[in-house]
Chain A
Amino acid sequence: MQRIEDYSMYPDARGRFGDYGGSFVAETLIAPLAELDAAYRRLRTDTAFIAEFERDLKYYVGRPSPIYHAERLSREVGGAQILLKREDLNHTGAHKINNTIGQALVARHMGKRRIIAETGAGQHGVATATVCARFGLGCVVYMGATDIERQKINVYRMKLLGAEVVPVTSGSKTLKDALNEAMRDWVTNVADTFYIIGTVAGPHPYPQMVRDFNAVVGREARAQMLEQYGRLPDVITACVGGGSNAIGLFHAFLNDRDVRIVGAEAAGEGIATGHHAASLAAGRPGVLHGNRTYVLCDDDGQITETHSVSAGLDYPGVGPEHAFLKDSGRADYVGVTDDEALAAFHRLARSEGILAALESSHAVAQAIKLARELPHDRLVLCNLSGRGDKDVHTIAAREGISL
């Protein structure tokens, strides 16, 4: 295993995180990606741009989000102290807005007036529609027909915000197909269109750009830990679908070797059943959606359908930086089942009065497992990436309750 000296050096100029990442796209997309890379390279160190971004994070999103000590939950679990980074308190209810604000600002600087996005559960779609309304940009969101059926409220929310929601009926009619369709739109309309990808996947520079915009989570958390507890946490954990909230939390801690890092993937009905979305725990290196990363596919390279109770984790790939962190041994990725996530959802609701998103409930479940194994004076920091209001219907339906 290769020892990495400084994780902040990645990706390299070609968008590589070790063997992962890159730009595996059709020729037509190379020029717009190069244009985006050049613009972003300039903006990411531009003090006026950074100030603009931080102003919106503060006054529009409501940052910083607090770190909350879940005392009753910790006591019940009977191990280490569980701390929650409350990204659920952001405007629109999740970390997703950090990225959409950042990318919308980049779009504006590039003079692009039309925004497209893909969405699975609808959270990224809502966050994109929100910033498009805020900046007066046209917004088209691609969403799998199956997901549209499952997430009617978010579809309506996007429409209220002025976005057009386009159903995608190809393939499995879910997130990966929405991403394919958004790419096709982008290829066709590159001149005036900016594609806001919702996770740390896609071709370079997306994995880097989306990470940078979400890295505020970890930067804040690291400073808050030092301020509130006088030290860094012993373990940090977050859920991983595409991996944007996780990399957002992890990134600031990558060079802190004493901080253990654990990603919680969706093990669905259990990895052994094949019905899951655990790309890192059960997949293999391949190429999907413009980058080399771990993917879930069959022996012929066909991407397989995934399953998770949480639509936001239901993705057969994962951000290439996570693949890199797995292979370098810096982070561990483990599976959390649907049932474990649901149990954690209820437990957090009853013990702390917080309804977590089903995605984030995977992280809470993992935090509980980690805390249980550690003494009382240890600190486990868990990214509570989103709130659970959107999932109330799913949970009720699953438990046989009609609302």
Chain B
Amino acid sequence: MSRIDARFVELAARERTGLIPFFTAGDPSPEAVVPVMHALVEAGADLIELGVPFSDPMADGPVIQHASERALAKGVGLARIFDWVREFRLRDTATPVVLMGYMNPVEIHGAARFAADAVAAGVDGVLLVDCPVEEIAAAAPLRDAGLAQIFLAAPTTTGERLARVCAAARGFLYYVSFAGITGADRLSTGDVRERVAAIRRQASTPVAVGFGVRDAASAAAIGEFADAVVIGSALVERLAGAAHADEAAERARAFLSPIRAALDRRT
């Protein structure tokens, strides 16, 4: 069983809502990446989404755009990201790591080479924001290498397409809670609850919900019905400007702990 599947089985057995923090690899600093990953796990993360910075992040709001720009300015690229995952794996072989980013770096690296490098480093899944199920062929080498390709479902994903997305999903399905960009403030829990219930009836994977989750309260509200909660922009915002790796790790821990506690109070 893959690390992602094992983690969700374990969560279900413990009746615990999964907590998936996202941050951009290389921001606030290259030195902070691995310490922040460990700090997030210590504070209750069940899976880590690591953002691969891209020069043209079309689906991201200003917070993640700027984090990408800062990381790129520090020369962050795929080779270093794989190194960080490898280093993380020295101490943590249980927490799944998903890379989230855009197609072009994968295409330029070569999808097969990317997949081999990712697997060797200890990456478990890949979410390519601009690779919808229609373009699944472009990412075939990733799945062939054993990486879980995570797909997004949006409020506008319905009917036959939803069935296709559910069928293609591996690891978990990432439900985008509203039509918009990351970090926007448009979350309506009632609508999301209904849609997630409909998707869970069709999906064979767990359903995680992201976009617009900012704090313990919104995470707990989503956690009432989702298998996992993804929280990104608010964490990236909190990490920004940390002076050194220890401070970034401390901020990550302080940010995530109350969210973990709020999710656990529910159960």
Min CB distance, B148 to chain A, in Å?
17
A180 to B64, CA, bound (A): 13
**Contact A30/B156 with A187-B179, A188-B180, A287-B104 known, Cβ cut-off 8 Å:** yes
A303 in the interface (beta carbon within 8 A) = yes
Q: Nearest-CB distance from A352 to chain B (Å)?
A: 40
Residue in contact with A27 in the complex, picked from B65, B79, B109, B132, CB distance below 8 Å: B132
Could you tell me if B156 and A180 are in contact, using CB atoms closer than 8 angstroms?
Answer: no
What's the interface size class on B, roughly?
A: 35 or more
Q: What is the bound-complex CA distance between A284 and B107, given in angstroms?
A: 10
Bits for B185-222, please: 1 = Cβ < 8 Å to A, else 0. Answer: 00000000000000000000000000000000000000
Interface of A is mostly: mixed
Chain B residues with Cβ below 8 Å from A295 are 104
A184 cross-chain contacts in B, Cβ below 8 A: 58-59, 61, 181
Flag if B154 contacts A23 (CB, 8 Å): no
* B102: nearest chain-A partner, CB-CB: A287
**B55 contacts across to A, CB distance below 8 A:** 171, 297, 302-303
Residues of B within 8 A of A (CB): 54-59, 61-62, 65-66, 69, 72, 77-79, 102-109, 129-132, 134-135, 138, 151-158, 161, 165, 176, 179-181, 184
Task: Report, nearest first, the 7 A-B pairs whose CB atoms are least far apart.
Answer: A301-B105, A31-B156, A301-B108, A300-B77, A27-B152, A287-B103, A26-B59
Q: Which residue of chain B has its CB nearest to the CB of A188? A: B180
Within 8 A of B (CB), among A268-324: 284-290, 292, 295, 297, 299-303
Q: Is A22's CB under 8 angstroms from B134's CB?
A: yes
Closest Cβ of chain B to A323, distance in Å, is 13
Q: How far is the CB of A24 from chain B (nearest CB, A)?
A: 4
Interface size class of A (residues with CB under 8 A): 35 or more
Provide the residues of chain B in CB contact with A36, threshold 8 Å: none
Known contacts A14-B134, A301-B107; is A187 also within 8 Å of B180 by CB? Answer: yes
A286–B69 Cα distance when bound, in Å, is 20
Asked if A26 contacts B129 (CB within 8 A), the reply is yes
A27/B154 in contact, CB under 8 A: yes
A292 surroundings in chain B (CB, below 8 A) = 107, 138
Does A190 have its Cβ within 8 Å of any Cβ on chain B?
Answer: yes
Q: Evaluate contact between B181 and A25: CB separation under 8 angstroms.
A: no
Q: Which of B56, B65, B129, B176 is the one whose CB lies under 8 Å from A288?
A: B56
Question: Would A24 and B180 count as touching, CB distance under 8 A?
Answer: no
A317 CB to nearest chain B CB (Å): 10
Which of B57, B103, B105 is A300 in contact with, Cβ under 8 Å?
A: B105
Establish whether residues A176 and B56, one from each chain, have CB atoms under 8 Å apart when the complex forms: yes
Instruction: Identify the closest chain B residue to A176 (Cβ).
Output: B56
For B58, the chain A residues whose CB sits under 8 A away are 25-26, 180, 183-184, 289-290
